[in-house]
Amino acid sequence: MSGEDSGIHGPPKGEEWSMENEHGIVPRRPRVVIVGSGFAGLQAALHLADRPVDVLLIDRRNHHTFQPLLYQVALAALSPGDIAQPIRSIFRNRRNVEVLMDEVVGIDTTAKSVHLRSSATMPYDYLILATGSTHSYFGHDAWEPYAPGLKTVEDAIEIRRRILLAFELAERQALEHGSHPPLNFVVIGGGPTGVELAGAISDISRLYMREDFRHIDPSKAHVIVVEGAPRILASYPEDLSRKATEELHHLGVEVRNNAQVTDVQPGYVMANGQKIESVVTLWAAGVQASPLGKMLGAEMDKKGTIFVDPYLNPAGHPDVFVCGDLANVTENGHRIPGVAQPAMQMGTHAAKEILADLGGKPRAPFHYFDKGDMATIGRHSAVADVKWPFHAHMSGLPAWMAWLTIHIYFLIGFRNRIIVLLHWIWMYFALSVGPRLITGSQKLPGWAKLIGAESNPDEKWLDPNSPGAVETPPS
C-alpha cells in the first residue's frame, strides 16, 4: 500500500449531509452504494446495517454464494441451495439496506454516481467496489468453452453436468460397442481449487459411484493435475505442498508439475508438447479482476486489480473503497491474497472507515489479520497452514476436521449450516452423495473425437493447426 493523508474525510465535524428539494435544504443520511455481494460486499453491508446510512447493494445475481464449497456442488456432494442464500433474505430485517439486481456498466467519480445496465443512474456519497474476479486464460479465451472454471453456481452446475455425463456416455459406449475411451479428467492448475476438484473427482469415481454402473468401472477413472510451477499449492509451505501431493497420489491422482499448457482442444490438452486425452478438462490456473477497474479509471496492475492506499482508496478518491479480489493490497512487502478471509476483513474495514467519517474521527489504515490457509483433499484429508490461534502445519484427518468446522461456521444461514453438516455426515458414513442430476445439453465437447465418430458440426477444433488435431483419433 502506498500514499498517506490525514485520514479525515466526509463532511466537517458538526455538519450534516443534506439535500435540496421543494422545501429547501433538508438533512439526509449519506448513501453508500456497494457493488458486489461476495464476501467483501456482504460484510460491508452487514456492518453498515442499522447504522445512520442508507445502503444500496447492487449485484448481477440475487444470491450470495459461499465460493469455498462450490467444488462440492460441481461434484454433486451438495446442492446449489446448500451454499447460496438470497441476498434479500439476508437483509430482510435490515431496513436501511436496499438490494438491487442489476449490473454496473459505468462509474462517474465527478458526479459521484454509477450507471447501470438498465440505464438507471444511482448517486452515492460513498462507493464500495467488491466485484471479485473471474477466470483468466492468459490470452487464450477461446479455451474457455472446453475448460470451464469454477467461480459461480452456474459454473459448478456445468462442471457437474460434464463430469456425470462423461460416465454416462462411457456406460452407453461400453454397452453398445463393448469398449469406451479412457476416462481421463484433466485439471489445469494446482492451487487450492485444482487440488480440491481433483480429490473430489477421485472420490466420486472410486467410492460413490463404484456400484452404480454395469459395463464400466468408475474407479478406473484417471485424474491428472497439470501445474506449471515446480509444485502444487505453491503459496503454501513446502512441507504442506509435499503432503498434498502424497495425499493426491494416495487417491490415485497423477500430478504433473512444471507442465506448461500450450493448447486446449475438445478431447485433449497439450502440455510440454505432449497430448493428454481428456473426457473433461477443468480450468483452475488463474484469475483476473472484474472490469470495474477500467470504469473507475484508476491505476491497475496487469491482472486488472486496482492499486489502493492504506485506507483501501484508489488515488484521489477518498470516497471510493476497493475490496476483495479487485484490490491490489500489499502489506510488509507481500501481496495480500485474493481469498475469502482478507476480502471479509476489507469489507468490514471499509464500513468502519465510513462510520469513522460520520463520527468525525480519523481513519485507520487497513491491516490484514492472517489466520492461515487450508485446502481439502478427498473425503477425510486436508492440509492447513494455521497462523491463529497458534502456529502449526496440519495435515490428514485433523486438518480435515478443522476445515469442516470452519466452513460450517462461516456458511450464511442457520438452515444451510445444518443441512450441509447432515449431508457431510451421511456422505461420510453411507458413501452416498447428493442428487447426481444431469441438466442441460447431453453433448460433451470432444466425445465424438474420442470414440472415433464422424466429425460433429457442434465440435469444431479451435485451431486446426494444433499439434494434437492432426493426429488420428483413437478407434
| Span of 14-23, 39-48, 222-231 with lowest mean pLDDT | 14-23
The residues with which 327 forms a beta bridge, in sequence order, are 306
8 Å CB contact between 71 and 196: yes
Q: Specify the pLDDT at position 28.
A: 83
Task: Give the H/E segment covering residue 425.
Answer: helix 414-430
CATH fold of 141-285+380-450 reads FAD/NAD(P)-binding domain (3.50.50)
Position 459 pLDDT exceeds 60: no
CATH fold of 18-60+102-135+287-358 reads FAD/NAD(P)-binding domain (3.50.50)
**Radius of gyration over alpha carbons of the chain, in Å?**
24
Mean pLDDT of the chain: 90
Domain positions in the chain: 18-60+102-135+287-358, 141-285+380-450
Residue-wise pLDDT for 350-389, tens only, equals 999 999 999 999 999 999 999 999 999 998 899 999 999 9
Residue-wise pLDDT for 231-290, tens only, equals 999 999 999 999 999 999 999 999 999 999 999 999 999 999 999 999 999 999 988 998
- Separation of alpha carbons 321 and 365, rounded Å: 12
Residue 152 pLDDT grade (very low, low, confident, very high; cuts 50, 70, 90): very high
- DSSP three-state, residue 180: coil
Position 215 pLDDT exceeds 50: yes
Mean pLDDT of 87-103: 97
Q: Specify the pLDDT at position 110.
A: 96
Q: Specify the pLDDT at position 293.
A: 82
18-60+102-135+287-358 and 141-285+380-450 have identical folds = yes
Residue-wise pLDDT for 48-75, tens only, equals 999 999 999 999 999 999 999 999 999 9
Q: Specify the pLDDT at position 25.
A: 55
Q: Specify the pLDDT at position 471.
A: 43
Residues annotated as catalytic are 196
* pTM for the full predicted model: 0.89
